[in-house]
Amino acid sequence: MGKTLAEKILSLKSHSEARAGDVVIADVDLAFVQDTTGPLTIRQFKESGFKALAKPQQAIIFLDHAAPSPARQISNDHILLRRFAEETGCRIYEVGEGICHELVVENFANPGDVIIGADSHTVTAGALGALATGMGSSDVAVALALGKTWFRVPESLLIELSGVLPRGVYVKDLILYLIGQIGADGATYKALEFGGKALAQITMSQRLTIANMAVEAGAKVGLFPSDRITRDFLKEHGRGDKYKPLSPDGGANYERVIPVNLDQLEPMLSLPHAVDSVRPAAQVKGVKIQQAFIGTCTNGRVEDLAVAAEILKGKKRHPGTRLLIAPASRQVLIQAMDEGYVRALIEAGAAILPPGCAACLGLHQGVLGDGEVCVSTANRNFKGRMGNPESMIYLASPATAAASAIKGEITDPREVM
Amino acid sequence: MSDLVLKGRAVKLGDNISTDDIISGRFAHLRSNLPELAKHVLEDTAPEFASRVRALSAAGAGIAIFVAGKNLGLGSSREHAPVVIKMSGIGAILAKSAARIFFRNAINQGLPVLLCDTDKIGDGDKLEINVTGGKISNLMSGVTLSCSKMPPIMSAILKEGGLIPYIQKHKDFVITG
Ligand code: SF4
């Protein structure tokens, strides 16, 4: 019987015939932590009696979540992390270099890899055909030491994409729509695998947005096949030799096939305080906003800033709305400057934050006030997510966020394009 | 070997309790000070949770059992979520369903999570949980609930009291059954 992508990768990495439901031990190609999960990982690593990393060059610490540090305790955690990197020889990405998931994708992830990170959005690298998933600190501590971990091989749902996105509609709208359909637990313990004719038109940046949010449906991973677009991306990033084609077998066993026709989609928002509470922009427009935030591992790439800059160019943000922009990485920021997007955004009234998680998790750089409303391109709108349980977060595409910043209220981007 | 049996009372909350609900990201500066962090458990969502768990523990009627609805622990990978639940005095978790990272993290912390139909459990109910056999008896209503089975490797980790003690003992992952 044919295999799904998840079964194929886990078979390869566990040197066994991995089938959905099996428990396997798989080699880990890359294991990483960030600055809010790393300190616990390090303590657990030491408590276990480990001294050395299995693969120091495939172990990474990212200082991205609270970077630059907003508090003394976090600054001390950063010291702990830097010391661990010195002691063990693992890699470390400093403050301002970017978000862990973006840097993993730019520099490390390859088709067929097993990647684990102490961060739930590790699933992002599934866009490159890597079995990438988030785990807790203990699991990552052990994987850092042993170079392997255990997996229950997931059942897969196939999302079959057809058609073309209409003007003003983006893949963020697609993934919000899908999560609205299947629910925040619709893929729990399972893999989401994306396929269908439309794939050939979906860029790597767009695939990353989609894979990133797989975990918001509970999925273990959001997997894309490795194809021409993967090959071109790897080439551009100096890893052309790491390309290998990877697709599910014909006759693979999918628990469910969900067809989505892109032609039918419209701009969508996820309403506070649940990611799967999804409505078309047409039903939500008019809600006043005090902040628009464009960035994060979901939508902080050059393509996203380009969409926002296009809409905001020559216009001004609404005087009652702050506009915060955080590029996902230094590379993204440089390219967005070269293309003139940064200038357009600043002239429209944006505040540019350093590459990193910025306002996404409510620690710094954009904490909301009581009763305030934010339109964000992030992936989560849980109560209190942006630092204040008395605030409201609507999730949307960069286009919807940019359009809303201009009008000072939730706006269908097609009205300003 | 004898079964692991726990007795105690239910502290019941609802569906979709995220890891941000359990311990908000805004307390990340306290993550290297777990006793301080634990003071903020479920602070925004169920501010009475911590004091109720304390009262139950003080009453000496067995353990406090956190009973939730569906999709418990959705969201972030922060292992601090099960850590602060455990530190608050909870001895076991029952839920209709749990997000996968949270589930795995709780087991790795040696905190039993069993999945069953928690609609059949009321707040304050007296429960007897057979963790090994995956059975729950509601001593108030007399109803018995069966739980979905976890993979043997998880049971083995739980039996050792969590992943770190498991690895200290076995030095590696051992797949059995
Ligand atoms: S950008 Fe937000 S969702 Fe992404 S890793 Fe950072 S905090 Fe997490």
- Here the ipTM equals 0.97
Are A50 and A153 members of one domain? yes
Give the end of a domain, one of A202, A237, A261.
Answer: A261
Surface-to-core class of residue B177, CB atoms within 10 Å of its CB (0-12 exposed, 13-18 middle, 19+ buried): exposed
Please determine, for residue B29, whether its predicted confidence score (pLDDT) is greater than 80.
yes
Are A77 and A22 members of one domain? yes
Are A227 and A327 members of one domain? no
Please determine, for residue B177, whether its predicted confidence score (pLDDT) is greater than 60.
no
CA angle A380/A386/A392 to nearest 5° reads: 75
Rounded CA gap, A51 and A53, in Å? 7
What CATH number does the domain containing B111 carry?
Answer: 3.20.19.10
At residue A39, the pLDDT reads 98
Are A303 and A378 members of one domain? yes
Are A322 and A377 members of one domain? yes
Tell me, yes or no, whether B98 lies in a domain. Answer: yes
Please determine, for residue A1, whether its predicted confidence score (pLDDT) is greater than 90.
no
pLDDT per residue over B118-166, tens digit each? 999 999 999 999 999 999 999 999 999 999 889 999 999 999 999 999 9
pLDDT per residue over B88-113, tens digit each? 999 999 999 999 999 999 999 999 99
Please determine, for residue A50, whether its predicted confidence score (pLDDT) is greater than 80.
yes
Partner B contacted by A361 (CB < 8 A): yes
What CATH number does the domain containing A399 carry?
Answer: 3.30.499.10
CA B123 to chain centre: 16
Partner B contacted by A390 (CB < 8 A): no
Tell me, yes or no, whether B162 lies in a domain. Answer: no
Q: Are A287 and A409 in contact (CB under 8 A)?
A: yes
Rounded CA gap, A134 and A319, in Å? 39
Q: Rounded to the nearest whole angstrom, what is the distance from the C-alpha of residue A15 to the centroid of ligand 1?
A: 33
Please determine, for residue B58, whether its predicted confidence score (pLDDT) is greater than 90.
no
* Average pLDDT for A98-106: 98
Are A94 and A171 members of one domain? yes
- A371 or B3: which leads in pLDDT: A371
- Work out how many domains chain B is built from and give that number: 1
- Candidate from A379, A381, A386, A393 with most ligand 1 atoms within 8 A of CB, to mutate: A379
Q: From B21, which residue of chain A is nearest by alpha-carbon distance?
A: A383
Tell me, yes or no, whether B72 lies in a domain. Answer: yes
Residue of minimum CA distance from atom 2 in ligand 1? A360
Tell me, yes or no, whether B153 lies in a domain. Answer: no
Peptide bond into B170 cis (omega under 30): no
Burial code (b: 16+ CB inside 10 Å, e: under 16) for A261-286 equals ebeebebbbbbbbbbbbbebbeebbe
Are A155 and A299 members of one domain? no
pLDDT per residue over A328-340, tens digit each? 999 999 999 999 9
At residue B2, the pLDDT reads 77
Are A250 and A284 members of one domain? no
**Ligand 1 atom with minimal separation from the A360 CA:** 2
Are A134 and A245 members of one domain? yes
Smallest Cβ distance to A274: which of B16, B29, B77?
B16
- End-to-end CA gap in chain B: 16
Structure-token match 């729950």, residue found:
B136
Give the end of a domain, one of A229, A261, A293.
Answer: A261
Are A153 and A183 members of one domain? yes
- Work out how many domains chain A is built from and give that number: 2
Smallest Cβ distance to A40: which of B76, B79, B173?
B79
At residue B148, the pLDDT reads 87
- pLDDT confidence bin for B1, thresholds 50/70/90: low
Give the end of a domain, one of A261, A284, A318.
Answer: A261
* Average pLDDT for A148-172: 98
Nearest in space to A392 (alpha carbons), one of A215, A295, A269: A269
pLDDT per residue over A259-288, tens digit each? 999 999 999 999 999 999 999 999 999 999
Tell me, yes or no, whether B55 lies in a domain. Answer: yes
Are A220 and A320 members of one domain? no
Is the CB of A296 inside a 6 Å radius of any atom of ligand 1? yes
Q: Are A116 and A135 in contact (CB under 8 A)?
A: yes
Tell me, yes or no, whether B156 lies in a domain. Answer: no
| Strands (E) located in A137-267 | 148-152, 156-162, 191-195, 221-223, 256-261
Torsion angles phi and psi, residue A130, rounded to 5: -105, 140
Q: Are A109 and A30 in contact (CB under 8 A)?
A: yes
Q: Rounded to the nearest whole angstrom, what is the distance from the C-alpha of residue A385 to the centroid of ligand 1?
A: 11
The parent domain of residue A209 ranges over 5-261
Are A248 and A283 members of one domain? no
Tell me, yes or no, whether B56 lies in a domain. Answer: yes
Contacts of B164 in chain A (CB under 8 A): 44, 47-48, 138, 141
